[in-house]
Amino acid sequence: MDASLLTIQPASPEPIYRQIVEQLRRLIAGGQLGAGDLLPSVRDVAAFHAINPMTVSRAYGMAESEGLLERLRGKGMAVAATVRPTQTQTQRLALLEPQLQALVRHARELELPADAVLRRLGRLLED
C-alpha cells in the first residue's frame, strides 16, 4: 500500500487519526487491502501528508487493537492475517456507526419521536 491511498482533511471536525482508521477499515472491508499487505511506515505517511507522525502511530495502534492490523517483526505494520474482505455482520454494521449517530443527532434536533424515525427507516430499507 502507498501513503497516497489515504486522504487527509485537516479541517474536518474528525481528528486525523480517526480519519486514517476509518479509511483503513473501508479499504480492508472493500478488499483493496488484503491480509498480509504491508502498510507504509509511519514516517512515509507523515512525510507524504505533512502530518505529525504521532498521529499516524496512534491511528496504527488503534487499528492494531481493533484487530485490523498486526505488527510484523522487522517489517512494520501489515493487514492482519485473520482479516477477510467478507466480514461478520457486526463488523460491517460498525462501519455504519458514524452515519447512524449523525441520524440520531438530526432526529433529536428536529424533535422527532424515535418510533416515527424507525418506521420511516424500516420502509426505506425494505424498498
Partner 1 sequence: MNAMLKDAADRPGPPLAARDLGHGYEGATVLRGIDLDIAAGSVLGLIGRNGAGKSTLLRALLGLLEPTTGETRVFGKPALAMDDGIRQRIAYVPQQPEALAWLTVAQMFDYLGRFYPRWNHAFARDTLARWQLPANKLFGKLSPGERQRVELVRALASEPELLVLDEPAAALDPVARRELLREIALRACEAGITVVFSTHIVSDLERVASDIAFLHQGRLLLHCPVDDTKERYARLWLPARLGPHAPASTLGRRSHADGSVSVVIERDAHGRWPDEAAQPGVRLDVLGLEDLFVEIAE
Residues at the contact surface with partner 1, assessed by CB under 8 A: 8, 10-17, 42-43, 46-47, 49-55, 58, 105, 108-109, 111
Q: What is the DSSP string of 73-118?
A: TTTEEEE-TT--SS--HHHHHHHTHHHHHHHHHHHHHTT--HHHHH
When the beta carbons of 51 and 83 are compared against partner 1, the nearer one is 51
> What are the grid coordinates assigned to 31, written together?
478488499
Minimum distance from residue 115 beta carbon to partner 1 (Å): 15
Minimum distance from residue 15 beta carbon to partner 1 (Å): 4
When the beta carbons of 54 and 96 are compared against partner 1, the nearer one is 54
CA 106 to chain centre: 22
Minimum distance from residue 61 beta carbon to partner 1 (Å): 13
